A and B are shown apart, each in its own frame.
Chain A
Amino acid sequence: MTISKLVLIELWKRKSQLISGLLAITLGIAVIVAIQSVSVVSEQNVARNLDNLGANILVLPQAASIDDYYTSDIDAPTLPMDYVERILTSTLAGVDNMSPKLTRRVKVGSQSIVLTGILPKSEIASKPLWQSSGLMGAGLKTACAPTQSANQSHGMEDKKLQRKAIDTLYSDDCLAGFQVAKRLKLAVNGRVSIMGKEFKVVKILSETGTVDDDRIFANLKDVQVLLKLENQVSAIEIMGCCNAISDGLLGRLRNILPDTRVTTIGQIVSTQIETNQMMKKITLVMLVIIFFVGGISIGNYIWANVNERKREIGILRMMGAERSTIYKMFLLKALILGVAGGILGYMLGTLAGVVLGPYLAGIVVKPVYIYLVWSIILSVAISLAGSIFPTYLAAKFDPHSNLQED
């Protein structure tokens, strides 16, 4: 016989009370798990879709406009290549995928095209459609989609979110946009002369419907030499993590790059930020409600239990039980309720998410196993928080007056 066993026996012998005590906390945890399971998948879907839209932060020279970036005028301002290193060596989070570019409008024969210098492997997934070109290298981390650590905390990993970089783009190689290839009648393994330098066309890119269709992409170093703009770039495209942007990434970028313009593609970013923040707010509101409702419910149950067992508490105190023993009895009970409520709530909430997700949000929800741990932690916290005051009163009971309640 131990105090723990006494607690277990009491719980077992009063099963109906146990069930009613568990109900509120189980349902509360279930609601949180269901909302969170659906919202995580939904957030990932939004992230994936927006991710496909491309880079969301542009670092431009102070004097340049967005138009300069797109029109690629011959005298558009540039910024030093060192700025890339300045970002990379900073402690900024959420700027994993960067792509420095030097872009200029040049003549190829009688045709005007845009020549863009890119760095292989760092040409980020802002060109998802390139992935079908077969120029796939190692996977890059996505920016707005959950990172590896975020994936772990969400308990899921989405392989589709792993982007690919262009692994190699040799000095004499180039990639031709769909429209420019058509206009210049370029073919794979054919050659094209740009400003006196011969390039081998290693790939014709699929049609994207963007300005990239009118561009020829070559190695950044080659383009810098050709344009006599060594160590200069027109812009640094960044696929910044939207959460990081909402946490003030732009301001921090401006701090380390004071003579630049740091802009976002506002609509894309704000859409994602708003979606993510709305989900977070809903979960937070639910969490607060459930914390209070669950805590009060468990507190009520423990208080009723304390009152029902006043004599027993008196008997134990008479026999020499310390106040700490009374604390142990009721807090252990609350702990058991918390663990059970967490497990049951997780199971119920996950089931609700899996069953209702496709109907309510049109998404397929899978169990997020890490939520089991969080459910238990949350449930135990609620249960203990609700039980502390009744337990404190139980430990303070005068044993003598309780014994005389016959």
Chain B
Amino acid sequence: MILQGDNILKQYHHNGGLINALDRVSFTVQKGDFVTVTGPSGSGKSTLLLSIFGLIRITSGNIIFDGNRIDSISDLKLAHIRKRSVGYILQSFALVPYLTTIQNVMIPLALEKIPRKEQFKRATEILDYVGLSDRMEHLPRELSAGQQQRVAIARSIIHRPQIIMADEPTGNLDPRLSLEILEFLSKINRENKITIIMVTHSPIAAEYGTMKLHLNEGKIIASGK
């Protein structure tokens, strides 16, 4: 078991009342799982994804990652865990606009203060792996949407995380590029044994999951392998 959520409750204040964005959600993820989280808009998918590693603080419940409780640890410790063990992929690619492809990919290593030579070596290898070795010095605006998402994927795996959190990674891509990215994520999952939790609207994308969670109104209403 790499990740376990137990009775996760996330409440928001809204118009004088309380809204349960996550309503006592529980799940268990094994190492190497490819988890897809589906559900209608507002069902709590993204809240769940962002809550797991503290980008949103939960109201109550337990989250255990790699044997350690992480729902109640400090922001600083959570930042360390995200830096070392988690890769994020977002729908909007979230690239730094004034950095080149290779510079964007090296950010997680820069945060970990990895020596420059090592950063460059790993970044070139990863860019070769995602098929962008000929775009290393391009700025994000000089890349296609699919290429930008591949840069984001490269950035999410360069520091060899244990888990990748992907929030609608194909949401901004056409069907052909979506399939390409999904295949790629699947390959990373298989070849590197990296656990992936992917939030998606797409039933096709959801089919890539080895474990599927379906949320509605903040509750898991279906789960299965």
The residue of chain A having its C-beta at the shortest distance from the C-beta of B112 within the complex is: A320
Q: Name the prevailing secondary structure of the A interface residues.
A: helix
Most B CB contacts (10 A, CB to CB) among A312, A315, A403 go to A315
The answer to whether A312 and B82 have CB atoms under 8 Å apart is no
Total number of A-B contacts with CB less than 8 angstroms? 72
Scan B63-86; emit 1 where CB is below 8 A from any A CB, else 0.
Answer: 000000000000110011111101
A406 & B98 in contact (Cβ 8 Å cutoff): no
Q: Are B98 and A14 in contact (CB under 8 A)?
A: yes
Residue A322, interface by CB 8 Å: yes
- Partner-contacting stretch, out of A2-10, A84-92, A142-150: A2-10
Cβ contacts A1-24/B at 8 Å (1 or 0 each) = 111011001100110000000000
A contact residues around B111 at 8 Å (CB): 3, 316, 319-321, 325
**Stretch from B88-96, B124-132, B189-197 that touches the partner:** B88-96
B96 touches A312 (CB 8 A): yes
Q: Known: A319-B82, A319-B88, A406-B91. Is A1-B110 also a contact (CB below 8 A)?
A: yes
Q: Assess whether A10 is in contact with B98, with CB atoms less than 8 Å apart.
A: yes
A320 & B86 in contact (Cβ 8 Å cutoff):
yes
Q: A182: CB under 8 A from chain B? A: no
Residues of B within 8 A of A403 (CB): 55, 90, 94
**Given A320-B80, A322-B79, A315:B96 Cβ within 8 A:** yes
A400 to B91, CA, bound (A): 14
Tell yes or no: B25 within 8 A of A by CB.
no
- Chain A residues, Cβ within 8 Å of B50: 400
Q: Does B222 contact A (CB under 8 A)?
A: no
Q: Which residues of A are found within 8 Å of B110, using beta-carbon distances? A: 1-3, 5-6
Flag if B108 contacts A318 (CB, 8 Å): no
Assess the A317–B79 pair: CB atoms within 8 A.
Answer: yes
A-side contacts of B86, CB under 8 Å? 320
Which of B79, B80, B119 is within 8 Å of A1, CB to CB?
Answer: B119
Residues of B within 8 A of A6 (CB): 96, 99, 103, 107, 110
Q: Which of A1, A14, A318 has the most CB of B within 10 A?
A: A1
Which residues 300-320 of A sit at the B interface, judged by CB distance below 8 A? 311-312, 314-320
Q: Chain A residues in contact with chain B, CB under 8 A?
A: 1-3, 5-6, 9-10, 13-14, 311-312, 314-323, 325, 399-400, 403, 406
- Add 12 more A-B contacts to A3-B111, A317-B79, A319-B88 (CB < 8 A): A1-B109, A1-B119, A2-B110, A6-B107, A312-B96, A315-B96, A316-B107, A319-B111, A320-B81, A321-B79, A323-B75, A406-B92
B: which residues have CB within 8 A of A?
50, 55-56, 75-76, 79-84, 86, 88, 90-92, 94, 96-99, 103, 106-111, 113, 116, 119, 155
